[in-house]
Amino acid sequence: MSKANESSGSKEEDHAERLSKLYLCRDTGKPRTLIIPLNQVLRKEGFRCLSYGNQSKAYQHHKVIMLVGATGAGKSTLINAMINYIIGTKWNDDYRFKIVDEVQSYSQAHSQTQITTLYTIHRNKHHTIPYTLTIIDTPGFGDTRGIERDKAIVHQIREFFSHPEDHHVDHLDAVGFVAKSTDARLTPTHKYIFDSMLALYGKDIEPNIMLLATFSDKARPKVISALREAEIRCEDNLFKFNNSALFATNVETTESDTDQDDLAIHHAYWKMGMKNMKSFFESLERLEPVSIFLTKEVLLERLRLENISEHLYQQIQAINTKVGQMKRDKKMLESQQGKTAQNAPFPIPCYAKTFEWVETEKKAMNCTTCEYTCHFPCSRMKISNYQCRVFDIKGKCTVCPRKCKTRDHSMQSVRKKPQLVKKMMTYKDIKGRYEKAAGRELSVQEVIQDLKTDIQDHFQCLQGLNFEAASCMRRLQEIALKPQISVKDHLDMFIEREKKDQELGWEDRVAELEIVKSRHEALECGGGVKYKARVLETIMN
């Protein structure tokens, strides 16, 4: 435990001043920036727990708030503003405190290691709030790494909620949606981000949602209209912040060209921020805690639905490939009925689907027992303690044929990729292939009937998956704050933007988005009646 965390004094108004003499100075400006040392209580793949202050052995009232928002919404600065309010920093003080380093946060935002961070500020009699506070800081949605990164964030949050025994957070008192006050209209990107965030939670959290509008002035935040469009109802829990004054110069200096007018503006924003911070923490104290149980169930149902869509996508791909080949086989077999071998035409090109191992720049989750690629691309580096999304809560794969355990899987730089191989085949070759499978000689009519039966078998699998998907959707309708997520329009928008900008790696990102779109369409189609009728019509004609 740091010396600073243990210190206490006799006068409440001197608390911040005492701390300012103990902490490392990061910036010697006016005011100085001081870094608060935190104790790392726990670090696991995907999240870490940091604490400030001494934990009392006696029971302490404990409030928990989870902050979610888009990249660049101002979560890090907001957390720093909270700690300054809690410690009791005043406008005229020549110091400000930080527990989140924005430079480090920016670096993390462009790495593969950005994680969820828990900041626990233990209750202290000198603090301005009468309870222990835990702030859960989640990574920002909608950054430049695209939809796969957002999926990874959801996976992190799901893993976090799945293991309360690690971090001892079993409830939420509030979910803080951090959004820029100036976002007047809901762009497709914003709608996707808001939908993604709302989809995380159970219905029971709705009364505890707070809108934390950053970059605010005295006017009504324009973002409220955008949030209404996104069906986020939180005007009753609206709090405005403008943290531009938090680290701004608070004395008139020639070095920074700060004059009296600038100081007046900074001071006004400071007062507004501290007033709203007081109102925010008082409201937080009044909110009833909500168990994470329902939210955890929502996240698990979404994982199940995601895996079903992966299966549907693979099954529909297999059916479409097989239908195309069968249609060609059927056409040739019918054209050769009654003809002798001497009159048979030359071989025709046929295409068979095979699977080959190919090297990849991105990692793939492969089953070494089934020799099957279960997830690509995959960014999970340690299966044992931070599972890929294809594993269920028992550690069993939901994709590979044998449903193997995590220990049978490996992260590799190769994946099994379907390939269409061209082969030249005669009438005799094609008919013989079906006769070999049947174990007897077949007429052309019998071969064609076998083709239809084979397709029907595939539909049986699709119908089972479709039933599972419907079950998931019904349950999400019952328990989720946002049961259905509008995905297709967002994906089309992302694809068009990538094609327009053509920034480095855009072709790979477009290919990735097209795959996600295909999986979503597979879930919508789900082996349904229209799809089945279309395939059977293809075979018959």
Task: For residue 136, give the CATH number of its domain.
Answer: 3.40.50
Q: What is the pLDDT of residue 113?
A: 40
In the predicted model, is pLDDT for residue 90 greater than 60? yes
Q: Does 11 map to a domain?
A: no
Using alpha carbons, select from 328, 249, 237 the residue that is nearest to residue 284.
Answer: 237
Q: What's the pLDDT at 345?
A: 58
Average pLDDT, the chain: 77
Q: Are residues 198 and 244 in the same domain?
A: yes
Residue 341: pLDDT over 60: no
Looking at the structure, tell me whether residues 140 and 79 fall in a common domain.
yes
Give the domain range for residue 473: 292-339+427-541
CA distance 434 to 431: 6
384 pLDDT higher than 60: no
Q: Is residue 66 within 8 Å of 118, Cβ to Cβ?
A: no
> What's the pLDDT at 522?
64
In a domain, 173, yes or no: no
Which of these three, 425, 451, 477, is where a domain ends?
425
Predicted pLDDT at 105: 47
**Among 42-46, 231-235, 249-253, 378-382, the least confident range:** 378-382
- Which of 86-90, 98-102, 263-267, 487-491 is the most confident on average? 86-90
Same structural domain, 286 and 380: no
Structure confidence at residue 536 as a pLDDT band (50, 70, 90)? low
- pLDDT band per the 50, 70, 90 thresholds, residue 531: low
Which of 408, 425, 442 marks a domain boundary?
Answer: 425
List 503's β-bridge partners, or say none: none
pLDDT at 257 over 70: no
pTM of the model: 0.70
For the cut 80, the answer to whether the pLDDT of residue 146 exceeds it is: no
Q: How confident is the model at residue 181 (pLDDT cuts 50, 70, 90)?
A: confident
Considering the domain architecture, whether residues 490 and 381 belong to the same structural domain is answered as: no
Instruction: Clarify whether residues 141 and 267 are in a common domain.
Output: yes
Residue 19 lies in a domain: no
User: Which range, of 265-279, 304-318, 472-486, averages the lowest pLDDT?
Assistant: 304-318
What would the pLDDT profile of 105-128 be if each residue is shown by its tens digit?
Answer: 444 444 434 788 999 999 998 999
Q: Are 172 and 204 in contact (CB under 8 A)?
A: no
Is 250 part of a structural domain of the chain? yes
CB atoms within 10 A of CB 123: 18
329 pLDDT more than 90: no
Whether 7 is covered by a domain: the verdict is no
- The predicted pLDDT at position 5 comes to 42
- Residue 172 in any domain: the answer is no
Coil, helix or strand at residue 259: coil
Band of residue 541 on the pLDDT scale cut at 50, 70, 90: low
Q: How confident is the model at residue 254 (pLDDT cuts 50, 70, 90)?
A: low
- Say whether both 327 and 255 belong to one domain: no
Whether 49 shows a pLDDT value over 70: the answer reads: yes
Query: Distance between CA atoms of 518 and 316, rounded to whole angstroms?
Result: 10
Q: Which two tokens stand for residue 104?
A: 């480090």
Give the chain's domain count: 3
Residues 201 and 307 in one domain: no
On whether both 125 and 235 belong to a single domain, the answer is yes
Helix H segments across 101-187?
A: 102-109, 147-162, 164-167
For residue 272, give the amino acid letter. Answer: M
Query: Among 360, 394, 425, where does a domain finish?
Result: 425
pLDDT tens track for 190-212:
677 677 778 888 999 989 989 89
Instruction: Please check whether residue 169 lies inside any domain of the structure.
Output: no
Considering the domain architecture, whether residues 470 and 540 belong to the same structural domain is answered as yes
Give percent above pLDDT 90 in the chain. Answer: 13
- pLDDT digit string, tens, across residues 490-512: 566 667 767 777 766 677 777 76
69 beta partners: 178
Does a structural domain hold residue 511? yes
Residue type, 158: R
Please report, for the chain, how many H helices and E strands are present, in that order: 15, 16
Please check whether residues 434 and 419 belong to one and the same domain. no
Confidence of residue 372 (pLDDT cuts 50, 70, 90): confident
Judge if 386 and 317 occupy the same domain: no
Q: Which amino acid, one-letter code, is at 537?
A: E
pLDDT confidence of residue 213: 87
The two three-digit tokens of residue 279, written as one number: 């109102």
Backbone phi and psi for residue 397, each to the nearest 5 degrees, phi listed first: -70, 140
* 427-438 and 444-479 helices, crossing angle to 10°: 60
**Judgement on whether residues 216 and 109 belong to the same structural domain of the protein:** yes
List the beta strands (DSSP E) in 234-294.
Answer: 238-240, 290-291
Tens of pLDDT, residue by residue over 5-37, are 433 334 444 678 888 777 767 667 778 888 888
**Alpha carbon distance 258, 9 (integer Å):** 35
